[in-house]
């Protein structure tokens, strides 16, 4: 058995699965503790609120004495001496969208323009937080006030609205150098109040801006001072706009590994030790992931683990979902994007049959 790894964060299944495939003995602190997390983790501990996360990590560390700790979304500022990844003092800047904007400005990287108060339309975003589900275009002061009424008087930024295709690049860095692992198309919900929320990915993403996308991502990742894997989000439109930096394992991990055949956890560990890949990995196929959401309040009764491995993030029978909550991830793959999409939708139809038409996405 390899090294003992504790993975901590809001959602850890994808990282735990990659670490398990790398031969590690894996433990997890996770908000969901889905059915398939138990396929890969020796033990796991669930938390409800984020302020419970760090104490849970301390408890699990005391129980299992991991060699290293990996922080995913929500745990980026974890103060652990065994942390393997970007240290909290480096991460802090990129958890704030305003200071990330300032970082892009310093590098001379195009990003959506920050708007002064009262300028509309505007893309309104919380300064902290991930997933994009609270991002919203507002066209008036009244709509802006409604946003704050819904989410509270939280720090926010207002950006110009730019049209284009959401995409990202998975990179690895050693604190001074970086190399791109894979470009990804990012799927957004596209409807409802959470229309800008992440709902899946396709790897690789290839379009006319491919080379510029890769070069920009590697430049940003190298200058960031981050260590290990990180993701750079972009909008590819009339020009390429940098949007965010995610200094951790990204939600695109599954499709990156499926498309390239690499083990991203192993590459992350090597990068943390100062060793980067000699070249960018080539994609062997196209891989697609789609998150399905609850169309109404319901309770899962079926054991969806029988559909593994074409699904992941599998809920336990008896799990209760509210309308709009993420339920399960579904995959497709193939030699072309069309092949991957066809297989994805075939698998989605199968999952919906099991769930009695309660899902959308």
Residues 196-237 pLDDT 10s: 999 999 999 998 889 999 999 999 999 999 999 999 999 999
Average pLDDT over every residue of 291-318: 94
Distance CA 171, CA 218 (A): 7
Q: What's residue 283's pLDDT? A: 97
Domains of the chain: 4-84 (3.40.50.20), 98-159 (no CATH), 286-360 (3.90.1170)
Q: What's residue 227's pLDDT? A: 98
**CA distances in angstroms from 357 to 318, 331, 346, 350, listed in the order given:** 17, 18, 14, 10
Distance CA 348, CA 286 (A): 17
Distance CA 170, CA 183 (A): 6
pTM beyond 0.95, yes or no: yes
Q: What's residue 361's pLDDT? A: 73
In three-state form (DSSP H/G/I as H, E/B as E, the rest C), the secondary structure along the chain is CCCEEEEEECCCHHHHHHHHHCCCEEEEEECCCCCCHHHHEEEEEECCCHHHHHHHHHHHHHHHCCCEEEECCCCCCCCCCCECCCCHHHHHHHHCHHHHHHHHHHHCCCCCCECCCCCCCEEEEECCCCCCCCCEEECCHHHHHHHHHHHCCCCEEEECCCCCEEEEEEEEEECCCEEEEEEEEEEECCCCCCCCCEEEEEECCCCCCHHHHHHHHHHHHHHHCCEEEEEEEEEECCCEEEEEEECCCCCCHHHHHHHHCCCHHHHHHHHHCCCCCCCCCCCCCEEEEEEEEECCCEECCCCHHHHCCCEECCCCCCCEECCCCEEEEEEEEECCHHHHHHHHHHHHHHHHHHHCCCEEC
Q: What is the pLDDT of residues 11-34, one digit of tens each?
A: 999 999 999 999 999 999 999 999
**Is a pLDDT exceeding 70 seen at residue 246?**
yes
Q: What's residue 347's pLDDT? A: 97
**Is a pLDDT exceeding 80 seen at residue 356?**
no
Average pLDDT over every residue of 333-337: 98
**Is a pLDDT exceeding 90 seen at residue 117?**
yes
Average pLDDT over every residue of 39-54: 97
Average pLDDT over every residue of 35-63: 97
pLDDT band at residue 1 using 50, 70 and 90 as cut-offs: low
Average pLDDT over every residue of 169-182: 98
Within 8 A by CB and 6+ apart from 285, the residues are 258, 259, 333, 334, 335, 340
Q: What's residue 2's pLDDT? A: 85
Mean pLDDT of the chain: 96
Q: What's residue 81's pLDDT? A: 82
């Amino acid at each position: 058995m390899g090294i003992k790894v504790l993975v901590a964060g809001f959602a850890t299944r994808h990282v735990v699965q990659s670490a398990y495939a790398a031969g590690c003995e894996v433990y997890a602190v996770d908000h969901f503790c889905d059915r398939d997390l138990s396929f890969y983790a020796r033990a796991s501990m669930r938390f409800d609120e984020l302020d419970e996360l760090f104490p849970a990590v301390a408890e699990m560390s005391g129980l299992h004495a991991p060699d290293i700790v990996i922080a995913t979304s929500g745990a980026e500022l974890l103060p652990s001496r065994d942390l393997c990844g970007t240290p909290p003092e480096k991460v802090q800047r990129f958890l704030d969208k305003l200071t990330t904007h300032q970082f892009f400005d310093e590098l001379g990287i195009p990003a959506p323009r920050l708007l002064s108060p009262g300028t509309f339309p505007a893309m309104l975003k919380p300064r902290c937080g991930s997933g994009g589900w609270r991002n919203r275009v507002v066209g008036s002061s009244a709509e802006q006030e409604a946003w704050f009424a819904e989410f509270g008087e939280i720090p926010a930024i207002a950006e110009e609205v730019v049209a284009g295709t959401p995409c990202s690049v998975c990179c690895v860095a050693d604190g001074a150098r970086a190399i791109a692992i894979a470009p990804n198309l990012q799927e957004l919900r596209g409807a409802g109040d959470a229309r800008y929320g992440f709902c899946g990915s396709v790897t690789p993403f290839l379009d006319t801006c491919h080379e510029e996308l890769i070069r920009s991502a590697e430049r940003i990742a190298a200058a960031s001072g981050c260590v290990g894997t990180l993701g750079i989000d972009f909008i590819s439109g009339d020009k390429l706009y940098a949007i965010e930096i995610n200094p951790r394992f990204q939600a695109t991990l599954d499709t990156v590994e499926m498309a390239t055949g690499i083990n991203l956890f192993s590459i992350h560990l090597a990068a943390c030790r100062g060793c980067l890949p000699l070249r960018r990995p080539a994609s062997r196929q196209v891989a697609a992931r789609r998150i399905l959401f609850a169309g109404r309040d319901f309770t899962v009764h079926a054991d969806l683990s029988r559909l593994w491995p074409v699904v992941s993030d599998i809920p336990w029978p008896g799990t209760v979902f509210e309308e709009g909550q993420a339920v399960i991830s579904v995959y497709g793959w193939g030699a072309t994007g069309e092949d991957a999409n066809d297989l994805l939708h075939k698998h989605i139809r199968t999952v919906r049959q099991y769930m009695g038409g309660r899902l959308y996405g």
